[in-house]
Structure 1
Amino acid sequence: MKSEAEQCKACCINPEKIFSVEHQIIPEAETQILAEFFRIFGDVTRLKILQAVAKEELCVCDISAVVSMGQSAVSHQLRILRNARLVRCRKDGKNTLYSLNDYHVLNILKQGIEHIQE
């Protein structure tokens, strides 16, 4: 059962508003990419990894310890995060170190945390 706030009392379509809004929404292909981008944030392990590498550049061993998972499972999640351009890696001798890709990712993470803590 829908509440009254979810429905209009009378049909009052405003063609100007519809036209304006329709032309401000990103194209379908980009909307699909955006949906996939946000889907990646829907995984608890990936969110923990993002929070960890937001604090400090870490190798897979360290990330595994932080999230209490095996290195293989963490590597799989890191691959997803790398493909989405959320994290980046660099070689340091025998180690590969991970960090957030850029300030956009940090801002998205911070905004999400602020939103749930309100």
Structure 2
Amino acid sequence: MVHQHQDDYYLAIRQSTQQTDSAPFIEFMLQMIFDAITEAKTSESEGLNAGLSEGLKLSDVDKVILAFIEQGRYMTNAQLAEKCGKSQSTIERRIKFLKGARLITRIGAKKTGYWQVKQ
């Protein structure tokens, strides 16, 4: 960052020397540190979001489950298993994955609640 702002860096050194006060140089360096932290946090969150979006691979079963949940949000795991032609334990595993990926969420109680697909 200092290299990118080399002119400002030398200006801060000259001002500090002329004023016999290190404040201009310290202010410059603190601003560089702040900018570096801000840039790192921004690129980190952008990279994480991009990685999650690109790295998340849905199986065909996941896509079918999501489609059935969108059609009938009160669908049980047993009903999903029957409609998908998969075992109930497979459906439970895929539901757990979809919840972990924050693609679906459960609204309400286990017996009386429903699934919501996040957009």
- Into which bin does the TM-score normalised by the smaller protein fall? 0.5 to 0.7
Letter in 2 for 1:35: E
1:47 aligns to 2:63 (yes or no): yes
Q: CA deviation at 1:95?
A: 6.4
Q: For the Cα contact (< 8 Å) 1:50–1:100, is it kept in 2?
A: yes
* Shift in CA distance, 51/65, structure 1 to aligned 2, threshold 3 Å: same
CA deviation map 1:24-52 (0-9, x unaligned): xx833322111123x12xx1100100100
Task: Kindly name which structure, 1 or 2, has the bigger radius of gyration based on alpha carbons.
Answer: 2
1:32 aligns to 2:51 (yes or no): yes
**In structure 2, C-alpha distance between the alignment counterparts of 1:70 and 1:96, rounded to whole Å:** 22
Q: For the Cα contact (< 8 Å) 1:46–1:77, is it kept in 2?
A: yes
Gaps of 5+ in 1: 1-25, 105-118
- Judging by fraction of residues, say which structure has more helix: 2
- Judging by fraction of residues, say which structure has more strand: 1
Tell me what 1:79 maps to: 96
Tell me what 1:17 maps to: none
* Shift in CA distance, 49/93, structure 1 to aligned 2, threshold 3 Å: closer
Gaps of 5+ in 2: 1-44
**In structure 2, C-alpha distance between the alignment counterparts of 1:91 and 1:71, rounded to whole Å:** 21
Number of residues of Structure 1 aligned to a counterpart in Structure 2: 74
SS of the residue 2:116 aligns to: strand
Q: For the Cα contact (< 8 Å) 1:56–1:99, is it kept in 2?
A: no
Tell me what 2:39 maps to: none
| Equivalent runs, 1:79-98 vs 2, <5 Å | 79-90=96-107, 92=109, 94=111, 97-98=114-115
1:100 aligns to 2:117 (yes or no): yes
Letter in 2 for 1:79: K
Higher RCO, 1 or 2 (CA under 8 Å, sep at least 6)?
1
Q: TM-score if structure 2 supplies the norm length?
A: 0.53
* Shift in CA distance, 77/93, structure 1 to aligned 2, threshold 3 Å: closer
Large movers: runs of 4+ above 6 Å: none
